[in-house]
Amino acid sequence: MADTHETPLFVYDEAYFTERIRDFFAVWKRHFSGGEVYLSYKTNYMPRLCRIAHEIGLGADVVSGYELEHAIKLKATDRAVFNGPLKRVTELRRAAIAGVGINVDLKEELVALQHLRDAGDIPEPRLGIRVNPGRAVYASKDPSFITAHQARQGSGKFGWPLDDDLAEHVADTIKQAGFALRMVHTHLNSQITRPELMLDALRPVLAFVRKLVDRGTPIDEVNIGGGFGVSGMVRTKRGWWAELKHVMNEPIPHETAEEFDLESFCSALQSELAAFRLESLRVSCEPGRFLFSPSCALLTRVVGIKHLRSKTWLIVDAGLHIMPTASFGEKRRLRFLSPDKGEMHAGDDAMECALGGPLCYEGDVLMHEIRAPRDIAAGDLVLISDAGAYTVSRSTNFNQPRAAVAMRDTRDGRLIWRREAYDDIFRYAE
Ligand SMILES: Cc1ncc(COP(=O)(O)O)c(C=O)c1O
């Protein structure tokens, strides 16, 4: 496939992706039969993959005008929600007319919707409010990381906080504007691996819903967002404490891979709903990473090896322009493949090195500490796991064109997204 389509190349396993979606959907529907599973388009909007998800029964979670148009084109608007901090008036109009639910995140959206309604431009929109419980959702043995994480969770730009009167005030404003508030929405973060922390964070959301329902607000859906973590990728959760220990040459607690246990989470969430007497609500979610990430690998070719006195660099042709989230200290599983020798293993004599990309800036590092086979050479391939989320949809052409995407359903693979050509890069010039 690398020879046929060149590298870097994203490779999707369609059968695995389809099965993963089917499994997720089955578990969710078994616990929350009336709820929806909205596919997070921003995680990956490739039409072929979105179509597979919609055929299985998933709806769409859109966060921009072009994603909204994508959902309209894919006929996914009967089960769709519009999220995000920017919803232009024209987009709000399109969404309301198409029957897409709108989760209000700025009061200005409400004003725009009022104008549209008063002008007779839109039917009664299906409205929700995005709230922020401000709770930590990650665990770490580094207390300084948790303190910083907790502070960030409480002060993010998304949603209305639940720890003061703001969310309630916005709910009242929606009512005073003459709209019915139907949905409560939250999204806690991404790559959450501990169901118990997700539940802790959701409890204030359910308490808020209970309060609204008691006051006669016609809420019929609670949407808990995405965030379900995968096991093929580990994110560094270090703060100043671990950095200090590193400088002092002291051991730092090891971070291990964990996968979100969906089944046990859904059962526990069901019990929470019962505790709040909210069993009749539709319970929905917006997974992205959990479905896309493990279904895809990134195939990249070694272009050179540089041995310095203090460090060795393994330079490959894939960089942060196509895998930007690697800059958050994400560690992925690697496999090393040689055209002549087949799969190579990093054994006891492995080469400790950094995996650097092709971009002309120092920060372009895919992984800072890896173990590669000692005999790896230019021309060999590195297969990077868990490459399906926030890659194609977050790619830029800084220094290098965006990569192609192939489906691994034939020996050579079939392209579903072509590589960006040099001419594409300059096509915006007037
Ligand atoms: C509103 C919303 N929903 C869903 C998602 C998908 O999250 P994940 O890929 O972690 O499941 C995101 C991602 O950040 C989001 O912002």
Residue 266 is assigned to a structural domain of this protein = yes
Residue 4 lies in a domain: no
**Of 50, 190, 198, which is best to mutate to test ligand 1, by the most ligand atoms within 8 angstroms of its C-beta?**
190
192 and 152 together in one domain: yes
CA pair distance 409, 407, nearest whole angstrom: 6
In a domain, 7, yes or no: no
Residue 38 confidence (pLDDT): 98
282 located within any domain: yes
H or E stretch including 216?
none
What distance in angstroms lies between residue 186's CA and the mean position of ligand 1's atoms?
A: 10
Specify whether 108 is located in the same domain as 175. Answer: yes
21/35 Cα distance (integer angstroms): 15
Whole-number Å distance, alpha carbon 133 to ligand 1 midpoint, is 16
| Nearest atom of ligand 1 to the alpha carbon of 293 | 9
Cα of 224 from ligand 1 centre, angstroms: 10
How many domains would you assign to the chain?
A: 2
Instruction: Note the pLDDT of residue 121.
Output: 97
Boundary residue ending a domain (231, 260, 293)? 293
pLDDT (0 to 100) of residue 317: 98
Ligand 1 center from residue 221 Cα (angstroms): 18
Are residues 414 and 281 part of one domain?
A: no
144 is a domain residue = yes
User: How far is residue 104's CA from residue 82's CA, in Å, rounded to a whole number?
Assistant: 9
Helix (H) or strand (E) holding 275: helix 262-275
What's the pLDDT score for residue 409?
A: 81
Q: Measured between alpha carbons, how far is residue 64 from residues 84, 147, 266, 325, 419 in Å?
A: 7, 32, 29, 20, 24
Same domain flag for 124 and 188: yes
HSE at residue 1, side-chain half, CA atoms within 13 A, is 25
Give the C-alpha separation, 107 to 174, whole Å. Answer: 9
Q: How far apart are CA 376 and CA 365, in angstroms?
A: 18
Q: Could you tell me if 74 and 50 are in contact, meaning their C-beta atoms sit under 8 angstroms apart? A: yes
Residue 5 lies in a domain: no
Backbone angles phi, psi at 421, to 5 degrees: -90, 160
pLDDT at 252: 82
Query: How do residues 158-210 score in pLDDT, each as one tens digit?
Result: 999 999 889 999 999 999 999 999 999 999 999 999 999 999 999 999 999 99
Q: Do 141 and 234 belong to one domain?
A: yes
Q: Which of 313, 316, 312 is nearest to 302 (CA)?
A: 316
Distance between Cα 229 and ligand 1 center (Å) = 11
Pick the closest to residue 331 from 383, 289, 385 (CA basis).
385
Q: Are residues 289 and 307 in the same domain?
A: no
What CATH number did the domain enclosing 381 receive? Answer: 2.40.37.10
CB 126 within 8 A of CB 223: no
Give the mutation target among 28, 37, 40 for probing the ligand 1 site: most ligand atoms within 8 A of CB. 40
- Nearest-CA residue for atom 4 of ligand 1: 226
Tell whether 416 is covered by a domain: yes
At residue 19, the pLDDT reads 97
Looking at the fold, whether 255 and 153 belong to one and the same domain comes out as yes
CATH assignment of the domain containing 125: 3.20.20.10
CA-228 nearest atom, ligand 1: 11
**Final residue belonging to a domain, choices 246, 269, 293:** 293
pLDDT tens string 302-331? 999 999 999 999 999 999 999 999 999 899
Q: Radius of gyration of the chain from Cα atoms?
A: 23
Residue 300: per-residue pLDDT: 98
Alpha carbons 215 and 61: distance in angstroms, whole number: 28
Task: Read off the amino acid at residue 329.
Answer: G
Asked whether residue 289 falls in the same domain as residue 301, the answer is no
Residues with CB under 6 A from ligand 1: 40, 43, 61, 83, 187, 190, 225-228, 286-290, 389
In a domain, 336, yes or no: yes
* Distance separating alpha carbons of residues 157 and 170, to the nearest angstrom: 15
Domain boundary among 265, 293, 321: 293
**Do residue 217 and residue 280 come from a single domain?**
yes
Q: Is 127 helix (H, G, I), strand (E, B) or coil?
A: strand
Give residue 106's domain range: 14-293
Which tokens hold the place of 141? 């043995």
Ligand 1 centroid vs 43 CA: distance in angstroms? 7
| Ligand 1 atom having least distance to the Cα of 192 | 10
Same domain for 313 and 238: no
DSSP string computed for 317-361: S--TTT-GGGGGTEEE-EEEEETTTEEE---TTPEEEEEE-SSSS
pLDDT < 70: residue spans in the chain = none
Task: Provide the strand spans (E) within 180-236.
Answer: 181-185, 221-223, 233-235
Among protein residues, the one with the nearest Cα to ligand 1's atom 12 is 226
Alpha-carbon torsion angle 111, 152, 226, 388, nearest 10: 120
- Whether residues 289 and 302 fall in one domain: no
> Could you tell me if 27 and 161 lie in one domain?
yes
User: Of the residues 45, 286, 393, which should be mutated to test ligand 1's pocket, given the most ligand atoms within 8 Å of the CB?
Assistant: 286
- With contact defined as beta carbons under 8 Å apart, do 24 and 262 qualify? yes
The secondary structure of residue 394, as a DSSP letter, is G
